[in-house]
Chain A
């Protein structure tokens, strides 16, 4: 039997099933909370902090994707603090990476009035496209470090452990053992990482080639590196 808890979200008293997160609670009750790193298929780590909300009695903002509902909780999904954090995070992202393949984030930027030029002279995270296997390309200039690819490659799904992190802090990037090309790693080309990438940093090779202007008929085993199937 499920137990319902009563809490207040933006002044509205709501009943939510025990064990649900604030994000579930808000969405069930028609309140929108933006998310970037959150994905139903991966463990929520609360890293992007876009889903932060104000919870009465808590010193700092709380990530709605992780924090579970409790009875009597008073939650504000929008406030000056919340909006400043979300807007600044978006502006910092825009000054850090290439968001051209991340339409959802561009929409959020419009919604929060975030400027693309807020941080002039900011050092950007740029890297060359890694095109080393027949399945997908890796363009880490577009990576916002949501961790989903690392998680599905590890114990959230595939248990392949082909990729992990390089560097630390702002210099963090996703990488392989001693930067080996994908075919020399444990990668089984399952494609799950590509499936969960929100920004086009990981992209199917075919899509990548089409975007470079190639026509479908020009794409062959020659340039994707796929082996011919035996007939």
Chain B
């Protein structure tokens, strides 16, 4: 590429030069916007401009799925092949599209006009099956009728309470409609430690999956002494089956900004970042517009409302890496590095983004904050249960009549939630529910009356996770579901620690055999050892939960994993005799395998 061709790049990356290495992801995005991909000469120019070693730039491009260092079209169609779309015919859509355009998945037309690829969960599960066409969501794709919707994805929001989602479901709420951040204005009249105490007293815990007490996090960061602190909003919503943050940001961005402002004031931070996944491109202009609205109204920027408090928000876009939802990997990504999770401790509250004290909260968590400040923690605690106070968003997808986000108080049962969603679709029976996401666990009809609170779910071994409730009817092939989960984790492991790096690959290989009805003699024990090794010994939450759903499936449907038995599970009622028989069979298979090896000798 000659100097002339690089001219638009030089102009485009100029704003990122002062950011140094932290400008690497924005600069690579800018380059791909111009060229569709990052060639050697483009990468060299970016490295030179940002003063990042060449090998490191290459390492970053290689890490992120959505950065390409081979010729790729500017127009990419990404077909989601994860679980929620998988059960609704995603594979057929991908192969139909590919054959229509004469491409294989992952290939680009020679004239660089189109690339088609399979994608991990696009966070549009309530509209499955889906694809992302350029910056538009293609939803409810129906090959038979040849119908689909293209553009901004509709927000399907239901539930008996509408606190967090009060302004969701009718397009983007403007600042004029949202109102001038009354909770933040109230907070400005409070002492920072009063706000921290209020959030502590509310009992709010993180809604991203880990359920860490938000107030404790804030307290840690507020007590840390530093010249600079940060608020980071984790909008890298990538847990398969999760789409609540997409709706919150798309329909009501100011609620998240207000939560961040209150957090910033409470801990003494002047800078906030929203790290949003690249698979939500239709949200970027919404955020940009809402940020200018807030700045124009004097709610962001220097000396806000004349109080001397300054705070502004910068949006950073991921590049196709589930691991960057892990808080420390997210920091690394903002810093312009490969998304490797860091060893903890030190924790973000003392050593976070750029090594500074940082509060990192999920979008939904931050959306609770204005509510707590506005009405007080006592009022907030009236919603939900004693140990799980507040409203909660559940992402209901799969085989129910009405998929969508449901806002409910903690404490409704799974049965009540499924009833709200119109029950199992097409009059079929429930087989199972994937709870909490790919990193979650399976529930069955036995769990229908469990209250959906942290404490009740923990009691029956189900994680609430990010609020995923993915429903499978009696006809679904759980072997295929598990296979997709296996592929997801193998694709998304960062490769840092050995248990996860190799374990997700071995797990995928075994689950492929299981799904094909070709399980080997010892695959049950093999899968269990890999699963427990990842769970016990992995460095971060990804590896520690990469086997969670699989291990739960092994308890529920052991017969799936036994040598050469194709899944035919239709009912979830397992009598004890049946289970014992299966255990006996597993043992028999083991003995047989031993006999085989002896013979060989």
A165-B62, A169-B501, A177-B54 as given contacts; A89 in contact with B494, CB under 8 Å: no
Which segment, of B76-84, B113-121, B532-540, faces chain A?
A: B532-540
Contact B526 A61 (CB under 8 A): no
Distance in angstroms between the alpha carbons of A213 and B532 in the assembled complex: 44
Distance in angstroms between the alpha carbons of A92 and B520 in the assembled complex: 17
A66-B343, A81-B536 as given contacts; A47 in contact with B53, CB under 8 Å: no
Distance in angstroms between the alpha carbons of A165 and B43 in the assembled complex: 15
Contacting residues, chain A, for B504 (C-beta < 8 A): 169-170
B33 within 8 A of A: no
Contact A119 B526 (CB under 8 A): yes
Contact B495 A171 (CB under 8 A): yes
B40 within 8 A of A: yes
Contact A93 B499 (CB under 8 A): no
A200 within 8 A of B: no
B275 within 8 A of A: no
A49-B537, A61-B537, A170-B493 as given contacts; A96 in contact with B54, CB under 8 Å: no
Does more than half of chain B's interface fall in helix, strand or loop, or is it mixed?
Answer: helix
Contact B69 A88 (CB under 8 A): no
Contact B55 A162 (CB under 8 A): yes
**Contact residue among A45, A46, A50, A96 (Cβ-Cβ distance under 8 Å from B502):** A96
**Contact residue among B53, B495, B536 (Cβ-Cβ distance under 8 Å from A61):** B536
How many of B's residues come within 8 Å of A, CB to CB? Answer: 47
Task: Write out, one digit per residue, whether chain A residues 80-113 have a CB within 8 A of any chain B CB (1) or not (0).
Answer: 0100110111001101100000000000000000
Contact B499 A60 (CB under 8 A): no
Interface residue range, chain A? 35 or more
Task: Write out, one digit per residue, whether chain B residues 502-532 have a CB within 8 A of any chain A CB (1) or not (0).
Answer: 1111100100010000001000001001101
Distance in angstroms between the alpha carbons of A171 and B504 in the assembled complex: 11
Contact B502 A170 (CB under 8 A): yes
B492 within 8 A of A: yes
Closest B residue, CB atoms, query A89: B498
Task: Write out, one digit per residue, whether chain A residues 177-213 have a CB within 8 A of any chain B CB (1) or not (0).
Answer: 1100000011000000000000000000000000000
A123 within 8 A of B: yes
Distance in angstroms between the alpha carbons of A156 and B14 in the assembled complex: 31
Contact A92 B502 (CB under 8 A): yes
A164-B55, A172-B501 as given contacts; A120 in contact with B520, CB under 8 Å: yes
**Contact residue among A61, A118, A164 (Cβ-Cβ distance under 8 Å from B59):** A164
B393 within 8 A of A: no
Task: Write out, one digit per residue, whether chain B residues 459-493 have a CB within 8 A of any chain A CB (1) or not (0).
Answer: 00000000000000000000000000000001111
A40 within 8 A of B: no
B75 within 8 A of A: no
Contacting residues, chain B, for A85 (C-beta < 8 A): 499, 532-533, 536-537
Contact A47 B539 (CB under 8 A): yes
Contacting residues, chain A, for B65 (C-beta < 8 A): 168
Contact A47 B509 (CB under 8 A): no
Contact B494 A169 (CB under 8 A): yes
Closest A residue, CB atoms, query B55: A164
Contact A170 B536 (CB under 8 A): no
Could you tell me the distance in whole angstroms from the C-beta of A129 to the nearest C-beta in chain B?
A: 20
Contacting residues, chain A, for B57 (C-beta < 8 A): 177
**Contact residue among A162, A164, A168 (Cβ-Cβ distance under 8 Å from B493):** A168
Contact A170 B490 (CB under 8 A): yes
Contact B55 A177 (CB under 8 A): yes
Distance in angstroms between the alpha carbons of A171 and B492 in the assembled complex: 11
B56 within 8 A of A: yes
Contact B43 A60 (CB under 8 A): no
Contacting residues, chain B, for A163 (C-beta < 8 A): 55
A26 within 8 A of B: no
Contact B495 A167 (CB under 8 A): yes
A9 within 8 A of B: no
Distance in angstroms between the alpha carbons of A212 and B499 in the assembled complex: 34
Contacting residues, chain A, for B495 (C-beta < 8 A): 145, 165, 167-172
Distance in angstroms between the alpha carbons of A186 and B44 in the assembled complex: 13
A46-B343, A66-B343, A169-B493 as given contacts; A122 in contact with B509, CB under 8 Å: yes
Contacting residues, chain B, for A178 (C-beta < 8 A): 40, 43, 58, 69
**Contact residue among B56, B494, B506, B513 (Cβ-Cβ distance under 8 Å from A95):** B506
**Contact residue among A49, A154, A162 (Cβ-Cβ distance under 8 Å from B538):** A49
Closest A residue, CB atoms, query B56: A164
Distance in angstroms between the alpha carbons of A89 and B530 in the assembled complex: 8
Closest A residue, CB atoms, query B496: A47
Contacting residues, chain B, for A88 (C-beta < 8 A): 499, 503, 529-530, 532-533
Could you tell me the distance in whole angstroms from the C-beta of B440 to the nearest C-beta in chain A?
A: 17
B403 within 8 A of A: no
B544 within 8 A of A: yes
Contact B506 A47 (CB under 8 A): no
B63 within 8 A of A: yes
**Contact residue among A96, A144, A166 (Cβ-Cβ distance under 8 Å from B58):** A166
Could you tell me the distance in whole angstroms from the C-beta of A157 to the nearest C-beta in chain B?
A: 15
Contact A161 B505 (CB under 8 A): no
Contacting residues, chain A, for B457 (C-beta < 8 A): none
Contact B539 A92 (CB under 8 A): no
A52 within 8 A of B: yes
Mind listing 17 A-B residue pairs with CB under 8 Å?
A: A45-B343, A52-B536, A88-B532, A89-B537, A95-B506, A96-B502, A123-B509, A144-B498, A161-B54, A163-B55, A165-B338, A165-B495, A166-B59, A169-B492, A170-B502, A172-B495, A177-B55
Which A residues have a C-beta under 8 Å from some C-beta of B?
36, 45-50, 52, 60-61, 63, 66, 81, 84-85, 87-89, 92-93, 95-96, 118-123, 144-145, 154, 161-172, 175-178, 185-186
Query: Given A60-B537, A169-B492, A175-B58, 5 other A-B contacts at CB below 8 A?
Result: A95-B502, A161-B54, A166-B59, A175-B55, A177-B58
User: Nearest 7 A-B pairs (CB), nearest first?
Assistant: A161-B53, A164-B59, A172-B495, A177-B54, A170-B505, A169-B493, A164-B55
